[in-house]
Amino acid sequence: MFTKTQKRILICIAVISILSALIGLFFSANIQSFGTVLKIFTMSLPQRQFTSNTNILVMGIDGGAQENIHRADSIMVVNINPYTKYIGVLSIPRDCRLPVPGHGQIKINHAYAYGGAKLTREALSNYLQIPIPYYVELDMQGVAELVDQIGGVPLNVERRMYYVDRAGDLYIDLYPGYQVLDGSKALQYVRFRSDARADLGRIDRQQKFIQAVGNKALRIGVIFKAPTMIYKMAKYARTNVPASRFVDLAKRVREAYQLGHLDIATIPSEPVYINGIAYLQPDWAKTQELVRRVIHGYEFTTPALPPVKKPPELSIEVLNGSGKSGMGRNAVAKLKYLGYQTRDAKDASRFDYKETIILNWHGAALEDEAYILARKLYINPDNIIVRTQNASPVSFSLIVGHDWPLER
């Protein structure tokens, strides 16, 4: 089992890994050195891998003026796809007016005050219509600690920023111009939202800030501080991600960046006033389009091209090429659940397929549909093979390999 110290280190690794996705670091030689430092801490610990498409709620938590009253200051849903090696990041503005179980339509950041990560996950899972089994929380004070640990962060403050909210324990006093912000001033910069764009402008500044932190972290001097940073940052992080999967999470993030497989978006919304309260009202239909692209990883909507065929219009032959009993039946059940036409699985001509592949029998005519199928089944698009036979009675053949997990 993991010791308390090991768990704290691994929690921080998970946080740093996910934040790395948001920062946009491309893991240069220096970042590889950072990965080596982490490996020293974790190489002797038992680990498990992510075997399915996974969503993680990432929140920056802000303490209010009243003791034990906290709200989510920044909210993001991060999707980890271990098969296509994609990472999707969907930002949710904290002022979004969403249905929260037991509390009606309220600002989504209030959900944390009422029911913590559990209620926030439930509300977002219901609205986005996706499972969100895991969460990672980072106290905003931990952001200030990180900035101080790396010696401040250089930023060009766009305008005079002054705002005082004694009830909310918020004091912002920044002057415009290029400067190095310490932890306290960095928090002021990312929390300011008293301008025309309100919360949406704040999200833009957060992205700018995170990129600046990433650039500073690339310096070799920061890498040598990594062990100290990990220990100091760990106390600010909380998560329910199993400790045995933290290292694999870090690996998935690094692979996605090396491949350039990253998609970041903010759910579309419009400012509204209801009973004198300012909200951002999200567009549900447009949000679902983003969910399809960023979370599920597929969307093909080019007006100049014919629309893609829907699953009921496509027939798929399932061939078990793994030699393992039950793999073909599992694939058939999954395809039927997704709405595709399919019959009972058959055995492939051989049983040594290491990876699952898709045979596209209709070439360019079903190219988009093949990629959609691959993303739905978490199959690497490189495993799509074109065997054009326009007279084929089936659209695709799915040859199940040894990598197909029965838990899909």
Q: What is the DSSP string of 249-271?
A: HHHHHHHHHHHT-EEEEE--EEE
Residue 388 pLDDT greater than 90, yes or no: no
Amino acid, single-letter form, for residue 337: Y
Please count the structural domains in the chain. Answer: 2
**Domain termination site, one of 243, 271, 295:** 295
Least confidently predicted of 6-20, 208-222, 324-338: 6-20
Q: Are residues 11 and 123 in the same domain?
A: yes
pLDDT at 349 over 90: yes
Mean pLDDT (whole number) for 133-151: 81
Residues 341 and 380 in one domain: yes
Percent of the chain with pLDDT over 70: 68
CATH number at residue 257: 3.30.420.590
Helix pair angle (4-23, 226-234), 10° resolution:
100
Residue 4 pLDDT exceeds 60: no
CA 300 to chain CA mean position, Å: 21
Mean pLDDT of 156-164: 85
CA distance 239 to 254: 20
If one compares 202 and 124, the residue with the highest pLDDT of the two is 124
Under 8 Å CB-to-CB from 284, ≥6 apart: which residues? 127
199, pLDDT greater than 50: yes
Tell whether 192 is covered by a domain.
Answer: no
Same domain, residue pair 209 and 276: yes
What pLDDT was estimated at residue 78?
87
Which position has the higher pLDDT, 131 or 66? 131
Using pLDDT thresholds of 50, 70 and 90, give the confidence band for residue 298. low
Whole-number Å distance between alpha carbons of 143 and 399: 47
Distance CA 24, CA 260 (A): 10
Q: Please give the pLDDT value at position 332.
A: 94
- φ/ψ of 242, rounded to 5, equals -55, 135
Query: Which segment of 48-57, 115-124, 321-330 scores lowest on mean pLDDT?
Result: 48-57
Give the amino acid at 385.
Answer: I
Question: Over the chain, what is the mean pLDDT?
Answer: 76
pLDDT at residue number 319: 96
- 266/319 same-domain check: no
CATH number for the domain harbouring residue 379: 3.30.70.2390
- Say yes or no to pLDDT of 314 above 90: yes
pLDDT score, position 40: 44
Range of the domain at 381: 311-400
Q: Per DSSP, which regions of 70-208 are E strands? A: 70-81, 86-91, 97-100, 104-107, 134-139, 153-157, 161-165, 170-174, 177-181
Q: Find the mean pLDDT for residues 161-182.
A: 80
Q: What is the pTM of this model?
A: 0.59
Taking 70 as the threshold, does the pLDDT of residue 280 lie above it? yes
